[in-house]
């Protein structure tokens, strides 16, 4: 690498008594270690996010099971389930955004510490495009999750309305039976008490 420089830039066989090969190897080693640590921390934070999403999904399925089991309190269970699901979805969305911001901040500080920010404008532009693409992907994922949650909300709302209609029909049926049965009972009481 040193010998490929033009003659008027030739620095000499060593750098203040240290051979150039040692300097290059140390620089490459530090760069490799930095990239490895960055990838590892990014992978761990991504895995944590995935596990949190799995936990939220497990909680939402548990809420759904509880809502189905409670027969007498099904309407209240559905309302609680929807609120829990929507709250957990918002919580996870905020967590994901915070994790993305945290990882971006760590990457930026890593670059600043190791002096690797001295790239060309083209490299910076590519990096910004990659970051923008990642943010757009995460936003589209969040929109997809939002659509799924809204679909579930609509389904639960329809189930709630159907159960409410069934309850109203049952109450109307009960009232009709009571109305037809009540005159018979009153007539029986008149006959019974008049003979006594």
State the pLDDT at residue 32.
96
Query: Chain centroid to CA 44: how far?
Result: 16
**How many residues make up the chain in this entry?**
196
Query: pLDDT per residue over 117-133, tens digit each?
Result: 555 677 788 888 889 99
**Report field, pTM of the whole predicted structure over 0.75:** no
Mean pLDDT of 148-175: 87
Query: pLDDT per residue over 8-38, tens digit each?
Result: 666 666 767 778 788 889 999 999 999 999 9
Q: Which of 47-56, 137-146, 174-183 has the lowest mean pLDDT?
A: 174-183
Per DSSP, the chain holds a count of helices (H) and strands (E) of 3, 2
For residues 149 and 169, give the distance between their C-alpha atoms in angstroms, rounded to a whole number: 30
Mean pLDDT of 161-185: 79
Query: pLDDT per residue over 49-91, tens digit each?
Result: 999 988 888 888 887 777 667 655 666 666 777 777 778 778 8
For residues 191 and 178, give the distance between their C-alpha atoms in angstroms, rounded to a whole number: 20
State the pLDDT at residue 195.
53
In a 13 Å sphere around the CA of 91, the CA atoms on its Cβ side amount to: 13
Residue 3 phi, psi dihedral angles, 5° rounding: -70, -20
């Amino acid at each position: 690498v040193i010998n490929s420089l033009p003659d008027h830039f030739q620095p000499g066989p060593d750098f203040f008594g240290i051979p150039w090969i040692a300097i290059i190897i140390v620089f490459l080693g530090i760069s490799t270690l930095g990239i490895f640590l960055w990838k590892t921390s990014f992978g761990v934070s991504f895995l944590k996010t995935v596990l949190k999403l799995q936990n939220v999904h497990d909680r939402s399925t548990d809420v759904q099971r509880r809502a189905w089991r409670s027969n007498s309190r099904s309407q209240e269970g559905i309302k609680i389930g929807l609120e829990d699901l929507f709250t957990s979805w918002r919580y996870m969305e905020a967590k994901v955004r915070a994790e993305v911001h945290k990882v971006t901040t760590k990457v930026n500080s890593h670059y600043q510490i190791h002096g690797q920010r001295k790239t060309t404008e083209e490299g910076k532009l590519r990096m910004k495009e990659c970051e923008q693409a990642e943010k757009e992907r995460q936003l589209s994922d969040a929109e997809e999750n939002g659509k799924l949650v809204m679909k579930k909300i609509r389904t639960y709302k329809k189930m709630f309305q159907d159960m409410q209609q069934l309850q109203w029909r049952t109450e109307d049926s009960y009232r009709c039976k009571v109305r037809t049965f009540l005159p018979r009972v009153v007539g029986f009481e008149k006959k019974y008490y008049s003979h006594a």
